Amino acid sequence: MVQSASRPAARLEIFALPDFPLVEAGDDLAGLILDGVARLGLGLAPQDVVVLAQKVVSKAEGRLVRLAEVTPSARATALAQEVRKDARLVELILSESVRVVRTRPDVLIVEHRLGLVMANAGIDQSNIRHDGGEAALLLPLDPDASADRLRAAIERRTGVAPGVVINDSFGRPWRRGTTGIAIGAAGLPSMIDRRGETDLFGRTLRATMIAHADEIAAAASLVMGQSTEATPVVLVRGLAWSAADNPAATLIRTPEEDLFR
């Protein structure tokens, strides 16, 4: 399949939205984003991309769970002893997963119900309020749908429909450290398939598929940070594409394509 895709951007601008407030359940993310863009002295333009840290989307969607409200099962209790984690947290991880992939002390890798293979089902306890006891934050129920709703809300208010990417920090099995990846996207091609095109010397490309949304997420992470930066929303400007939109779920390998399961 050949898709027409624009050349890489000659100039890319990445703006962290300043003074972004702490997000609570039910907050109007579209309004907060537009306020942040206004503080930059900018307006949205076609093919701008708004990149949000997963946590602000999860918080706005009420995905915070108090561990005091979780009763661990016998399976979670036994697994918690093996991986040296709180049994209540392990119960949440199992509830968000379809299978356990790997375990060792302090490590629990699972296949999330969304198809992502990741540590702890993406459940995190950092940069959230723990008022009244420990809490944990789950991934959005459907990150692609979350991105699409946010894009539509921005378009209703401005007449401009930017691309939207929901970014999460992700480890890789053969490399140390984490990098940003797209777990949700709307209004842009998450994957650009260039198979069937030719290279500089006329040779047909047979395997070139570009993880476009992941590249945007990783670039945004350079400005967004992953600790105390408090800049969870970023505006990316200067990209251009002509390939058809497809969601972040397109980036997940099917079991038939996965050589390591």
| Helix/strand/coil percent split, the chain, to 5 | 30, 25, 45
pLDDT of the residue at 3: 47
Percent of all residues in the chain with a pLDDT value above 70, rounded to a whole number: 95
pLDDT band at 143 (very low <50, low <70, confident <90, very high): very high
> Against a cut of 0.75, is the pTM above it?
yes
Q: Which residue has the tokens 């006891």?
A: 133
Give the pair of three-digit tokens for residue 63. Answer: 């995905």
**pLDDT tens across 74-94, in order?**
999 999 999 999 999 999 999
**pLDDT tens across 31-84, in order?**
999 999 999 999 999 999 999 999 999 999 999 999 999 999 999 999 999 999
**pLDDT tens across 177-204, in order?**
999 999 999 999 999 998 999 999 999 9
Residue 101 CA to residue 67 CA, distance in Å, equals: 24
Q: Which residue has the higher pLDDT, 109 or 174?
A: 109
pLDDT of the residue at 156: 97
Burial 143-156 (b: 16+ CB within 10 A, else e): bbebbbbbbebbee
pLDDT of the residue at 245: 95
Bridge partners, 52 (sequence order): 166, 233
